[in-house]
Amino acid sequence: MKILIELNFNSIEDRRTQARLTMAYKILNGHVILQSNLLPKSGSYNPRRHCNAANVGKENQLMEPISKLKVTGHTFFYSIPKMWNQFIT
């Protein structure tokens, strides 16, 4: 851990989180072959706020699907909405 700090590197967990959020952004904005409806928005409306020219707020949150199996809950399409919503608000 000390060497990560000395080299100013992010932890593997931080890099994985960043990669997942980047992929979600690409899916939502049509930059990859996957359809954006794979990550449906929550649909609730809240007047837009602007933070560094990026839209934030309820209308940009993703719907969080419910998983009955722990294994399914850790897959990309089940875990990324919760992660995305934490960074959007």
- The string of pLDDT tens digits covering residues 5-54 is 788 888 889 999 999 999 999 999 899 998 888 888 876 444 444 444 45
What pTM value is reported for the model?
Answer: 0.72
Phi, psi angle pair for 62, to nearest 5°: -100, 150
C-alpha distances in Å from residue 21, one per residue of 10, 18, 46, 69: 15, 5, 22, 23
Mean pLDDT value of segment 59-75: 86
